[in-house]
Structure 1
Amino acid sequence: MANTTAADVKKLRELTGAGMMDCKKALDEAEGNVDKAVELLRIKGQKGVAKREGRDASNGAVVSLLEGGNSGVLVELNCETDFVAKGGRFVEVANALAAHVAATSPADLDAALASEIQPGKTVQQFVDEANAGLGEKIVFRRFAQFTGGAYVAAYMHRTDPDLPPAIGVLVELDQENAEIAKDVAQHIAAFAPKFLSREDIPAEALDAERRIAEATAREEGKPEAALPRIVEGRVTGFVKENSVLEQAFAKDSKKTVQKVLDEAGVKLVRFARFRVGA
């Protein structure tokens, strides 16, 4: 049996992200051959991929990649535990996916998973290898990409200083303004709007809110004559809560986000907000 050193184990861990004891066993079985040990870990890891399919991957990281000031990518990669989420190998995988999306601009997640990230290797296979190496269910959950805009910026928020960012926001403005972009992105991170403006809220969502508001008002015994006013008031409240432009601005609640943008002479074109597991 080969004499496995701590340096050999460290090197194998860096290459695969596998646990220390798994690396030690693989090196022993491979008689000290690192390349063969990598193969053994991949084989053993892949056997466990199917078993992990049903597990909950609610931890993870959000990463961003900005290019040239007018393009940006946001990626969410999930895993099972915060222990894996804060590991260097996991974050490397997330960053590699962000770089791949930036370079290839896939149409959607299915297209991204089917595309080649390395010669002869799809993104799905790449993620499966991470699954095998890290010993947990790893899921490329979603991505957002803004390209060709006037100015694109990102804000990343850590909910725990020991973990990678759990909330990421990508914003596109119609002109460069780093301060406003940061302020608005931070606001979006904190207040989680679902839509850009009232016009972006689907009609069916507003109709559903009206039905709920009317039924609730009747349950509360409100007068029939007052129902239209009450219903529209509650729908307006729903719009203000869910449309970023109509929300009260985080740094000055006397102003809406729209007012802050107007005063700065810029327009928020679009945004994306990811929160790990949400």
Structure 2
Amino acid sequence: MWRSMASLSGFLRSKLFSWQQTGLFHSGFRLLAADKELLVKLRKKTGYSFINCKKALEKFSNDAKQAETWLHEQAQKEGWNKATKLQGRKTTEGLVGLLQEGNTAVMVEVNCETDFVARNVKFQQLVQQAALCTLKQCRSGGQQQASYSKGFLPGEEILQMKTDELTLKDVLAMTIGKLGENMLMKRAAWVMTSSDMFIGSYMHGALQADLPSSANISFGKYGSLVVCRRTDENSTSNITELGRRLGQHVVGMNPLSVGTIEDESEGDAETRMLAQPFLLEPSLTVGQYLQPHGVQVLDFVRFECGEETQSSEGGRL
């Protein structure tokens, strides 16, 4: 009898312990699930690795705000250290980014060491941020009425611009830290026109952009902007397609000036745009091609990734 009672008592103690353990397990499971959800949110918001996000949350007892701040600080520090080590390595690859919104358009060039990195989404995000900052700055300067304005920015000036939280100089350093290549913010150009004009644009060697932002940006190795004015309001020409064709000509034929409609062509050696044989219809000069379309070319900008410029050093860290 005593053995039976002792056996029953042991059984009850065993069950009680089991229930306690089960309760602790469920409680711990809920806690771990909450921690994992917080980790996933922090990872998605910042883009940093799970390991670093986990380390940050542990360091600040799951305070997501403090963890995020710390992650940014560490990324900047590590990026700057990496950038310092990589200084001096050649940056002959990269991308031209072209962003156009209405009657405003910008082009930027950012260089890196290899074409492999140029195709990385993080590098493309850097180019996009440079373009968006340039667009914002040129709009803040205003423009003259019934005309157009054009400007150029060296890399050093671009690096001083700010995104929502950081300067582009810090963003560049952090991108270098993430991708492990030296990079150079080379240059930017912008064009703004009044409502009676339009901007033709073209990007050669375009890459498919896979960015979360809805900004109308394209990437490639050659880009052009062409400032045009309608001379015939009754013209039925498709100005978007016409502008693209003119931009294609600027990229392919590399004119040095616009010239005038009266210029006589010097054939393949011609450098004045309106006197050059039109790339898509070589039997006509650009000026002759434009006449029936009722469009006048006023100016253009051409970027070729990696080309020598007057300020070829660009914006280095």
**For residues 183 and 40 of structure 2, what CA distance do their matches in structure 1 show?**
23
- Shift in alpha-carbon separation, 1:55–1:13, aligned structure 2, 3 A: farther
- Normalization by structure 2: what TM-score? 0.62
Partner of 1:250: 279
**For residues 95 and 111 of structure 2, what CA distance do their matches in structure 1 show?**
7
1:137 paired to 2:185:
no
CA contact (8 A) 2:42 2:53 kept: no
| More helix per residue | 1
Moved more, 81-90 or 253-262: 81-90
Q: Which runs of 5+ in 2 are unaligned?
A: 1-31, 60-66, 139-150, 211-218, 231-237, 308-317
1:165 paired to 2:227:
no
**CA-to-aligned-CA distance 1:32-52 (integer Å, 9 cap, x gap):** 666344543332221121222
**For residues 125 and 134 of structure 2, what CA distance do their matches in structure 1 show?**
14
- Normalization by structure 1: what TM-score? 0.69
Q: Percent identity?
A: 24
Q: Tell me the CA shift for residue 256 of structure 1.
A: 0.8
Q: Tell me the CA shift for residue 109 of structure 1.
A: 2.0
**For residues 120 and 24 of structure 1, what CA distance do their matches in structure 2 show?**
22
| Residue type of the alignment partner of 1:58 | T
1:153 paired to 2:200:
yes
1:188 paired to 2:250:
yes
Q: Tell me the CA shift for residue 116 of structure 1.
A: 3.5
CA contact (8 A) 2:130 2:158 kept: no
| Residue type of the alignment partner of 2:239 | N
- Secondary structure of the residue aligned to 2:193 is coil
Q: Which runs of 5+ in 1 are unaligned?
A: 200-234
- Secondary structure of the residue aligned to 1:77 is strand
**CA-to-aligned-CA distance 1:183-238 (integer Å, 9 cap, x gap):** 11112222222332289xxxxxxxxxxxxxxxxxxxxxxxxxxxxxxxxxxx9568
- Secondary structure of the residue aligned to 1:45 is helix
Q: Select which of 100, 108, 113 maps to 2:133.
A: 100
**For residues 187 and 98 of structure 1, what CA distance do their matches in structure 2 show?**
23
- Shift in alpha-carbon separation, 1:85–1:10, aligned structure 2, 3 A: farther
| Residue type of the alignment partner of 1:151 | F
**For residues 260 and 279 of structure 2, what CA distance do their matches in structure 1 show?**
19
**For residues 95 and 9 of structure 1, what CA distance do their matches in structure 2 show?**
26
Partner of 1:109: 154
- Shift in alpha-carbon separation, 1:50–1:181, aligned structure 2, 3 A: same
CA contact (8 A) 1:45 1:135 kept: no
Partner of 2:292: 263
